[in-house]
Amino acid sequence: MAYTVPKLTDYSAGALERASAELLSALGKEAAVVKNEEEWRIFRDRWMARKNGILTQINDVWLKGAPKEAKRVTGQSVNLVKAQVEEKVDGVKARLQIPHFPTTNLGSEISESEFELEAFSKAGLVDITLPGVHREIGAEHPVIRTTNEIVSVFQKLGYSVAEGPVVETDYYNFEALNFPPNHPARDTQDTLFIAGQQSKAARERLLLRTHTSPVQIRTMEKMRPPLRIVIPGTVHRNDPPDASHSPMFHQVEGLAVDTNITFGDLKGTLDHAMKALFGSSVKTHFRPSFFPFTEPSAEMYVSCFICGGSGKRGAEPCRPCKQTGWIEILGCGMVDPNVFEFVKDNGYDPKKVSGFAFGMGADRIALLKYGVDDIQLFFQGDVRFLQQWG
Residues that bind Zn ion (CB under 5 A): 304, 306-307, 318, 321
C-alpha–C-alpha distance, residues 24 and 47, integer Å: 11
Q: Which is nearer to Zn ion, 335 or 367 (CB)?
A: 367
Displacement of CA 329 from its chain's centroid (Å): 29
Ramachandran quadrant class, 292 (left: phi over 0; alpha: psi -120 to 50; beta: rest): alpha
Output the smallest distance, CB 304 to Zn ion, in A.
Answer: 3
Q: Closest CB to Zn ion among 221 and 328?
A: 328
Q: Report in angstroms how near the CB of residue 216 gets to Zn ion at its nearest.
A: 32
Answer whether the bond into residue 241 is a cis peptide, omega within 30°.
Answer: no
* CB closer to Zn ion, 81 vs 321: 321
Which residues fall within 8 angstroms of residue 152, CB to CB, at 6 or more apart? none
Between residues 19 and 367, which has the closer beta carbon with respect to Zn ion?
367
In a 3-state reduction of DSSP, which class is residue 103?
Answer: coil
Nearest distance from C-beta of residue 251 to Zn ion, angstroms: 24
- Least separation, in Å, of the C-beta of 300 and Zn ion? 16
Min CB(217)–Zn ion separation in Å: 37
Alpha-carbon span 190 to 104, nearest angstrom: 67
The residue (of 232 and 309) whose beta carbon lies closer to Zn ion is 309
DSSP symbols for 250-287:
EEEEEEEEETT--HHHHHHHHHHHHHHHH-TT--EEEE
Q: How far is the CB of 168 from Zn ion (least distance, A)?
A: 36
DSSP string across 33-68 = T--SHHHHHHHHHHHH-TTT-HHHHHIIIIITTS-G
Instruction: State whether residue 182 is helix, strand or coil.
Output: coil
- Distance in Å, CB of 291 to Zn ion, minimum: 26
Nearer to Zn ion, 34 or 365 (CB): 365
Question: For residues 320 and 350, which CB has a smaller minimum distance to Zn ion in the complex?
Answer: 320
Q: 340: left (phi > 0), else alpha (psi -120 to 50), else beta?
A: alpha
Nearer to Zn ion by Cβ, of 217 and 365: the residue is 365
Q: How far is CA 48 from CA 29, 66, 120, 314, in A?
A: 16, 21, 26, 79
What's the min distance (Å) between Cβ of 277 and Zn ion? 16
Question: How many Cβ atoms from other residues are within 10 Å of residue 224's Cβ?
Answer: 12
